[in-house]
Amino acid sequence: MVHRAIRAQSFVVRRTENTGQLAARGWQPYTLEKEETDVKDLWNAPDPEALPGHRPTAAASRLRLPALAAAPLALMLTLSACGGSDEEQTPAEQVEADDELAALVPDDLAEKGVVTIGVESAYPPGEFLDTDGTTVIGFNVELYDAAMAKLGLTTDWQSAPFDAIITGVTSNKYDVGVSSFTINAERLEQVNMVSYFNVGTQWFGLAGNPNDVDPDDACGKSVAVQSGTVQVEDIEARSEACEEDGKDPISIQQYEDQTLATNSVVSGQNDASLADLPVSGYAISQTGDKLETYGEQYEAAPYGVVVPKDETELAEAVRAAYASIIEDGTYAEILDKWDIANGAIETPEVNPSVG
pLDDT of residue 87: 56
Cis peptide leading into 161, omega within 30 of 0?
Answer: no
Return all residues near 353 (Cβ < 8 A) that are at least 6 apart: none
Distances (CA, A) of 198 to 63, 219, 301: 27, 29, 5
Distances (CA, A) of 294 to 32, 60, 254, 276, 339: 29, 28, 19, 13, 19
Residues of the chain within CATH 3.40.190.10 domain(s) are 19-81+200-299, 92-198+303-343
Distances (CA, A) of 155 to 22, 112, 233, 279: 34, 11, 33, 24
pLDDT of residue 88: 72
- Span 87-96, mean pLDDT? 83
Q: In angstroms, rounded to a whole number, what is the distance separating the alpha carbons of residues 193 and 352?
A: 8
Domain 19-81+200-299 top-level CATH class: alpha beta
Four-way CATH pick for 92-198+303-343: 3.40.190.10, 3.40.50.1220, 3.40.50.970, 3.40.50.720: 3.40.190.10
pLDDT at 246 over 70: yes
**The residue type at 346:** E
pLDDT at 55 over 70: no
pLDDT of residue 354: 85
Q: Helices 258-266 and 32-43 sit at what angle, rounded to 10 degrees?
A: 90
Tens of pLDDT, residue by residue over 260-305, are 999 999 999 999 999 999 999 898 888 888 999 999 999 999 999 9
pLDDT band at residue 206 using 50, 70 and 90 as cut-offs = very high
Distances (CA, A) of 128 to 157, 219, 300, 317: 11, 32, 22, 26
Q: In angstroms, rounded to a whole number, what is the distance separating the alpha carbons of residues 334 and 320?
A: 18
Q: How many CA atoms lie within 13 A of 259 on its CB side?
A: 26
For the whole model, what pTM was predicted?
A: 0.71
Average pLDDT, the chain: 81
Report the DSSP pairing between strands 127-129 and 122-123: antiparallel
pLDDT of residue 59: 34
Report the DSSP pairing between strands 114-119 and 154-159: parallel
Q: In angstroms, rounded to a whole number, what is the distance separating the alpha carbons of residues 191 and 40?
A: 42
pLDDT at 339 over 60: yes
Instruction: Give the residue, 81 or 165, on which the prediction is more confident.
Output: 165
Q: In angstroms, rounded to a whole number, what is the distance separating the alpha carbons of residues 240 and 247?
A: 10
User: What is the enclosing helix (H) or strand (E) of 292?
Assistant: strand 291-308
Return all residues near 219 (Cβ < 8 A) that are at least 6 apart: 239, 242, 245, 247, 248, 249, 250
**The residue type at 101:** L
Tens of pLDDT, residue by residue over 156-201, are 999 999 989 999 999 999 999 999 999 999 999 999 999 999 999 9
